[in-house]
Structure 1
Amino acid sequence: MIASNTSPLNEKLLVSLEKANSFRELGHTLIEGVLSPAEAKHYREVIKNAAYKYNTEQRKLEERDTYGKAFLQVMNLWENDEAVREFTLAKRFGHIAADLLGVDNVRIYHDQALFKEPGGGFTPWHQDQYYWPLDTYNTVTMWMPLVDITEDMGMLTFASGSHRGGFAENIPISDESETSLQKYIREKGYPITRASTMKAGDATWHYGWTLHTAPGNNSDITREVMTIIFYADGAHVTEPQNKHQENDRRRWLAGLEVGSLAASNLNPPVL
């Protein structure tokens, strides 16, 4: 089911040429006020309720590995929750994604709530597209805090320009990726960039190949973030390069065959 055309989230938000050019040059950008304060408050409750309803992580923080300590991760909420579906399939977000990528339309790969708890650990350096068996560089992740956040809550941090290098290392997000990709970033001389603060409803956008990380949450407030991954309509499924891409092909691309159009029922066009 596609979000209603009458939803206020289908109103287009203008992306300036300056923002689009900066995104393509650096591999990431911050767009403020993607949601109004009232919209952010409403969808925070919607997403928070769904995230905790479908969360399966029951271990205490100290019992988890590095990845598990980084955040509670609940994926593809739009599949099961009507109210989240209106958010994830919003044309407002799709228009921004398409404008930044310079394409006519985008499809959904999946959404995911990423809640970094108080005391939650750092998120190791990684590339999102490591996991995606897609034949396009035109991929983008929207990362939107649902509460006001500061650097000490786990602000998303980028290696600016790293998207231009494409696939960096065949390593999943882990302690190993942290060590290896830190070295890679130093060798390439990529500047490290992050915002100092973000309001609820602001959003960063980064290419699938942009290297990024986040520090731990040193506050007493959960860093509630919702993400949506978009890719250019017309992309095809590629031969998986690792077991994670094979898992993604089966799950988020609904088992589509290699070489086929990446257009399963789980990947609706947004515009």
Structure 2
Amino acid sequence: MAAPVRDVTEDEARFFRDNGWVRLPGLVAPDLAGRLRRRALDRLAARRRTAGSGLVDRAFGQDRDIAEHDAEFWALAASPALARGAVRLLTGVQRVRLQVTNLLVKEPGEHGRTVFHQDFPWMPMDTSAMLTVWLALADVPADMGSLRFFTGSHRYGTLGRTFVREGDDALTRHPWLRDLELSPPLDLAAGDATVHSALTVHGAPQNRRDTPRLSFTATYFDAAALYTGAPYGQTDGLDLEVNRPFDHPRFPLVPVE
């Protein structure tokens, strides 16, 4: 059964195309957000988690491909409404594939800020028509670490990789980004979401509350994208063919109806 997800409006799509990000209040029904939150907490409690030492690990914890292990998260990620929304938001895209899902947790006192970065520079796709839905599973007030975005930064193409060197991020490499408008601090209720382009420079502050920030993300990309062969952990060893579509079970087409 499809997850209860509302459709993206044309006004929201226009805002996304202009700004590179959009807030989607009440994207999923509150009862679904509550069920997913409980499942997420149960999964996190059942797993023996050790803090990593990498630059990403210092910013947040993650349970990659959560939808492959949990039917309710899969039902959400494979929701036709989410696929329709992604198609509506991305210019010139007819269908989308699911690239990855993630359960993200930002623990107070353990994780620091998420430095400003783009998602796309790591990707082995030949087109940047890609976006991430970031869903609050519990209320996420701004000082818990909701995302912030440099508005319009998606217009400037690929700006290089972050999380590579200590003390290096998109702002240190490109100080001119500060001339762009930074999105306001966002207070999100459970079931609210933000969506950002893979080219939008974004980051998040440290969680200054006393409870973990809990969110679910699903990333979608143009089904017509071709594989470039660039090294990437998710695609290495899958025997994908260069200059061919991502026709592999790891990247399922998501129906829009």
Pair in the same fold by TM > 0.5: yes
Q: Is 1:36 aligned to residue 29 of structure 2?
A: yes
3-state DSSP of counterpart to 2:218: strand
Q: Is 1:259 aligned to residue 243 of structure 2?
A: yes
The partner residue of 2:147 within 146, 156, 166 is 156
- Give the root-mean-square deviation of aligned CA atoms: 2.1
**Kept after mapping to 2: 8 A contact 1:67/1:173:** no
Compute the displacement of 1:265 (Å): 0.4
Q: Which amino acid aligns with 2:211?
A: I
Q: Is 1:247 aligned to residue 240 of structure 2?
A: no
Q: Deviations over 1:88-140 (max 9, x none)?
A: 21222112111111422211000011100112210011111122111112100
Larger CA deviation: 84-93 vs 229-238? 84-93
Distance 2:48 2:184 in 1: 30
Compute the displacement of 1:250 (Å): 1.7
Q: Which amino acid aligns with 2:26?
A: G
Distance 1:174 1:48 in 2: 32
Distance 2:166 2:144 in 1: 20
**Kept after mapping to 1: 8 A contact 2:136/2:216:** yes
Counting aligned pairs with the same residue, the percent is: 27
For residue 93 of structure 1, what is the aligned residue in structure 2?
Answer: 82
Q: Deviations over 1:65-85 (max 9, x none)?
A: 543221111100122222322
**Kept after mapping to 2: 8 A contact 1:105/1:270:** yes
Distance 2:207 2:243 in 1: 41
Q: How many positions carry a matched residue from both structures?
A: 253
Distance 2:41 2:48 in 1: 14
For residue 75 of structure 1, what is the aligned residue in structure 2?
Answer: 64
- Closer/same/farther in 2, CA of residues 150 and 72 from structure 1, 3 Å limit: same
Q: Is 1:140 aligned to residue 131 of structure 2?
A: yes
3-state DSSP of counterpart to 2:32: helix
Distance 2:232 2:242 in 1: 10
Larger CA deviation: 70-79 vs 95-104? 95-104
Larger % of helix: which? Answer: 1
Distance 1:18 1:38 in 2: 26
Larger CA deviation: 160-169 vs 90-99? 90-99
Q: List structure 1 segments (4+ residues) > 4 angstroms apart after TM superposition.
A: none
Structure 1 unaligned spans of 5+: 1-5
Structure 2 unaligned spans of 5+: none
What is the TM-score normalised by the length of structure 2?
0.89
**Kept after mapping to 2: 8 A contact 1:132/1:248:** no
Q: Is 1:17 aligned to residue 10 of structure 2?
A: yes
What is the TM-score normalised by the length of structure 1?
0.85
